[in-house]
C-alpha cells in the first residue's frame, strides 16, 4: 500500500520529468517581456493608483449630451465594430481592437438606453455580434430600462471586410445621427467611414491600425488613434481595472522608451544588442 511519502515523491518526480522535458519556445527575452506586462498589470490591480487625470478621447465624454439631443430631435444612433471581428481570419492585433471597443459600446448603449434613442450595432462576425448583444442587454439592465431594449439591435452584416463597407455605403443617409466606428479597420476603412458619416450629426471614429489613422483623422469629429483605442474606455468608465490598464500601458511605454534609449547607446558602444535579446534573436 503506497504511503504519503511515496505519493509526494511521485508528484515531485512527475513535475521534475515534466520540467526537464520543457524548453522556452520564444527565448528568454520575449518571455521576460510578456511576464513583465502581466506583473506590471497585476501590481497595479493589487494596488490601484489614486491619481487619475483623464482626457476626453474622441469626444466620448459628450456621448450623454449627444444622445439627449438625439432623443429630443427623434434621432438614431449607430455603432460599428469595424471590419476585423473576433474569430475572422484577420490579424490578432486587429481582432483585439474589436474587444477593446466593447466597453465603449457599453457606454454608448447606456447613454442611448437612458435617452430612449434607437441604437443599431453592426459587425461582420457572428461572435462579435453575440458579444455586442450581451453588452446591449447589460446596458439596458444596468440603466433599468429593459422595456426599451427592443430599440437597440445588433446586426450581422455578413462575413468579409467588404460586406461591412458595402453595407455602410448602401444604407440610407442619416441612418445614424450619432455614429461611432471603433475597432480594427483595414483597407476598406475609407469606404466604411465615408458611408457612416453620410447624414451623421456627430461622429467618433477610432482604430489602432496606424495605416488607417489618416481616414479617422479626416472623417471623424472625434478621433481615437493608436493606443488611445485601448484607453478610450477609461475616459468614460470609472472602473478600477480600466484605469489600471491605462497606468500599466503608460509605465510600459516609459520602459520601452528607456530600452530604446539605453539599447541604442549600448549598441553604438558595441557592448550589447538589447533589441536582439528582447526579440529573441540572440
Interaction with another protein in 168-187: which residues (CB under 8 A)? 169-170, 187
Between CA 22 and CA 35 the distance in angstroms is 18
Q: Does residue 93 belong to the site contacting another protein (CB under 8 A)?
A: yes
Q: Does residue 100 belong to the site contacting another protein (CB under 8 A)?
A: yes
Residue from the set 81, 84, 248, 278 that interacts with another protein by CB under 8 A: 248
Q: Does residue 232 belong to the site contacting another protein (CB under 8 A)?
A: no
* Residue number with CB closer to another protein (13 or 72): 13
Other C-beta atoms closer than 10 Å to the C-beta of 273 total 14
* Residue number with CB closer to another protein (130 or 137): 130
204-216 burial, b at 16+ Cβ within 10 Å, e below that, comes to: bbbbbbeebbebb
* Residue number with CB closer to another protein (68 or 252): 252
Does residue 110 contact residue 79 with C-beta atoms inside 8 Å?
no
Residues in binding contact with another protein, number by CB under 8 A: 74
Q: Does residue 21 belong to the site contacting another protein (CB under 8 A)?
A: yes
Q: Does residue 24 belong to the site contacting another protein (CB under 8 A)?
A: yes
Q: Which residues 101-120 are close enough to bind another protein by CB under 8 A?
A: 103, 106
Q: Does residue 137 belong to the site contacting another protein (CB under 8 A)?
A: no
Q: Which residues 196-225 are close enough to bind another protein by CB under 8 A?
A: 197, 208, 210-211, 213-215, 217-219, 221, 225
Strand order in the sheet with 178-182: 152-156, 119-123, 77-80, 178-182, 202-207, 222-225
Phi-psi region of 189 (alpha: psi -120 to 50; beta: other; left: phi over 0): alpha
Nearest to 120 by CA among 175, 193, 183: 175
From residue 18, alpha-carbon distances to 12, 22, 24, 26, 228 in Å are 10, 6, 13, 18, 42
Q: Does residue 253 belong to the site contacting another protein (CB under 8 A)?
A: yes
Residue where the block lists cell 481570419: 89
Q: Does residue 62 belong to the site contacting another protein (CB under 8 A)?
A: no
CB of 3 to another protein, least distance (A): 26
Residue from the set 64, 68, 71, 127 that interacts with another protein by CB under 8 A: 127
Q: Does residue 50 belong to the site contacting another protein (CB under 8 A)?
A: no
From residue 124, alpha-carbon distances to 82, 120, 127, 166 in Å are 8, 13, 9, 11
Q: Does residue 81 belong to the site contacting another protein (CB under 8 A)?
A: no
* Residue number with CB closer to another protein (72 or 187): 187
CB of 204 to another protein, least distance (A): 12
Between CA 147 and CA 168 the distance in angstroms is 29
Q: Does residue 136 belong to the site contacting another protein (CB under 8 A)?
A: no
Residue from the set 61, 64, 201, 242 that interacts with another protein by CB under 8 A: 242
Does residue 244 contact residue 40 with C-beta atoms inside 8 Å?
no
Q: Does residue 99 belong to the site contacting another protein (CB under 8 A)?
A: yes
Amino acid at each position: 500500500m503506497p504511503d504519503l511519502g511515496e505519493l509526494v515523491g511521485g508528484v515531485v518526480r512527475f513535475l521534475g520529468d515534466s520540467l526537464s522535458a520543457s524548453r522556452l519556445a520564444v527565448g528568454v527575452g520575449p518571455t521576460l517581456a510578456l511576464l513583465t506586462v502581466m506583473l506590471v498589470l497585476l501590481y497595479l490591480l493589487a494596488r490601484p493608483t489614486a491619481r487619475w487625470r483623464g482626457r476626453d478621447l474622441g469626444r466620448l465624454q459628450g456621448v450623454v449630451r449627444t444622445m439627449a439631443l438625439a432623443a429630443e430631435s427623434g434621432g438614431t444612433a449607430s455603432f460599428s465594430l469595424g471590419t476585423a471581428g473576433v474569430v475572422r481570419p484577420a490579424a490578432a492585433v486587429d481582432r483585439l481592437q474589436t474587444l477593446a471597443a466593447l466597453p465603449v459600446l457599453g457606454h454608448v448603449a447606456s447613454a442611448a438606453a437612458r435617452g430612449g434613442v434607437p441604437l443599431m450595432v453592426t459587425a461582420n462576425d457572428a461572435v462579435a455580434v453575440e458579444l455586442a448583444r450581451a453588452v446591449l442587454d447589460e446596458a439596458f439592465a444596468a440603466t433599468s430600462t429593459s422595456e426599451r431594449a427592443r430599440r437597440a439591435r445588433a446586426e450581422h452584416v455578413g462575413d468579409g471586410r467588404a460586406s461591412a463597407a458595402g453595407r455602410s455605403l448602401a444604407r440610407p443617409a442619416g441612418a445614424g445621427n450619432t455614429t461611432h466606428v471603433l475597432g480594427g479597420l483595414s483597407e476598406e476603412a475609407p469606404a466604411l467611414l465615408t458611408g457612416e458619416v453620410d447624414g451623421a450629426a456627430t461622429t467618433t471614429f477610432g482604430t489602432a491600425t496606424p495605416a488607417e489613422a489618416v481616414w479617422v483623422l479626416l472623417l471623424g469629429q472625434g478621433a481615437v488613434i493608436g493606443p488611445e483605442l485601448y484607453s478610450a474606455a477609461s475616459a468614460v468608465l470609472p472602473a478600477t481595472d480600466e484605469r489600471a490598464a491605462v497606468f500599466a500601458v503608460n509605465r510600459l511605454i516609459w520602459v520601452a522608451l528607456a530600452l530604446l534609449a539605453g539599447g541604442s547607446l549600448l549598441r553604438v558602444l558595441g557592448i550589447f544588442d538589447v533589441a536582439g535579446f528582447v526579440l529573441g534573436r540572440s
